[in-house]
Homo-oligomer: A and B are copies of this chain.
Amino acid sequence: MIDIHSHFLPRITRADAAAADPRAPWLAETGDGVGFIMVGDDRFRPVEARLWDPQVRLAWLDDAGIDVQLACATPIMFGYAWDAAAAATWCARMNDLATEFCAADPRRLKTLAQVPLQDIDAACHEATRARSLGHVGVQIGNHVGMKGLEDPGILDFLRHCAAERMPVLVHPWDMMGDARMKQWMLPWLVAMPAETQLGILGLILSGAFERLPRNLDLVFAHGGGSFAFLLGRVDNAWTHRDIVREDCPQPPSSYCDRFCVDSAIFDAGALRLLVEKMGPTRVLLGTDAPFPLGEQQPGALVTSTFASDATVRDAILTGNAQRVFGLP
């Protein structure tokens, strides 16, 4: 079983964070294997040692039955809004720390790099450097300020990743919304899935997939957000409204073979629909561990949903990740 979507955050000190940017996160351990992701004086999120301690992570992989896990930055580490040079230095440092994290068992722990996506040249450089360190792919946010994935610079970065054979996991972050979404984690429940759908639709409706190489491996987190469920609405709009199709020559659903999604959707019916829309070779196990909004029993949903279909089950749990990320 290979989990392609999990997060880490290294033991960043407050001084390390402050040296990078006032918005940089740091880790406050409060003892007994728990702590907080902090931003300045503010507690951003309670966390546990699996997030930063590779030995604790490895023990948990044993318990969870995960053979190989890909860990990537917690999105608050992205730094896309910071000074570009400071972000480039930060990303390199985080990627080095990710390599250290994996060194506890490089056969089982793999990483996806982070890059300073506000500076395309620097992002390409860091992706190449990370590849040489052993990172098996890159994680990017679904936008950089007002630039969506269809931004020409970001498309150049994606082309670079294709040329380097670096798969790209797209993770939602910096969520749309307003004061109506202050409580109950609504940005995570409403806006994150919308951000992911927006990322996919930006590539489709801009016609970007017509210009991106077919060997680019793109994977969208959280089952692609609300994309699969709303695909009928999008195809219908494309068919009947000129301004929807003006830059997109083919029906939106025809581009589903250009990307993959993870399985973090938490419902059997939704997962079945996702596999129906994406095809069984384009859904990959992703747990979103070690966060509370992740799958607490890794693989349980896929295993129970496809209990009677070993081919689909094994593809989602293992085979698709082996193919996309070049893993043994």
Q: Quick check: A266 and B198 within 8 Å, CB to CB? A: no
Q: Give the chain B neighbours of A272 by CB distance below 8 A.
A: 273
Q: Quick check: B240 and A193 within 8 Å, CB to CB? A: no
Q: Quick check: A241 and B292 within 8 Å, CB to CB? A: yes
Residue among B189, B198, B241 making CB contact with A181, cutoff 8 Å: B198
Q: Quick check: A232 and B267 within 8 Å, CB to CB? A: yes
Q: Quick check: B229 and A184 within 8 Å, CB to CB? A: no
Cα distance A201–B176 in the bound complex, in angstroms:
16
Classify chain A: how many residues form its interface, as a range. Answer: 35 or more
Q: Quick check: B247 and A184 within 8 Å, CB to CB? A: yes
Q: Give the chain B neighbours of A267 by CB distance below 8 A.
A: 229, 231-233, 235
How many copies are assembled?
Answer: 2
**Known contacts A201-B190, A226-B194, A185 near B241 by CB under 8 Å:** yes
Per-residue CB contact flags for chain A residues 80-93 toward chain B (1 = under 8 Å, else 0) read 00000000000000
| Shortest Cβ distance from residue A105 to the other chain B in the assembled complex, whole angstroms | 27
Residue among B190, B193, B229 making CB contact with A228, cutoff 8 Å: B229
| Shortest Cβ distance from residue A193 to the other chain B in the assembled complex, whole angstroms | 6
Q: Quick check: B181 and A240 within 8 Å, CB to CB? A: no
A-B contact pairs, 16 of them (CB 8 A): A148-B180, A183-B243, A184-B246, A185-B241, A186-B202, A189-B201, A190-B198, A190-B201, A190-B226, A197-B226, A232-B266, A232-B267, A233-B267, A236-B293, A241-B293, A269-B276
Per-residue CB contact flags for chain A residues 225-256 toward chain B (1 = under 8 Å, else 0) read 01011111111110011011011100000000
Task: Determine chain A's interface SS by DSSP, over half rule.
Answer: helix
Q: Quick check: A237 and B189 within 8 Å, CB to CB? A: yes
Q: Quick check: B184 and A146 within 8 Å, CB to CB? A: no
**Known contacts A183-B205, A229-B273, A234 near B189 by CB under 8 Å:** yes
**Known contacts A176-B178, A201-B186, A236 near B193 by CB under 8 Å:** no
Cα distance A10–B9 in the bound complex, in angstroms:
57
Cα distance A184–B241 in the bound complex, in angstroms:
9
Q: Give the chain B neighbours of A229 by CB distance below 8 A.
A: 226, 228-230, 265, 267, 270, 273
Q: Quick check: B185 and A202 within 8 Å, CB to CB? A: no
Q: Does A143 contact B (CB under 8 A)?
A: yes
**Quick one: which of A171-209 are within 8 Å of B by CB?**
176-181, 183-186, 188-191, 193-194, 197-198, 201-202, 205-206
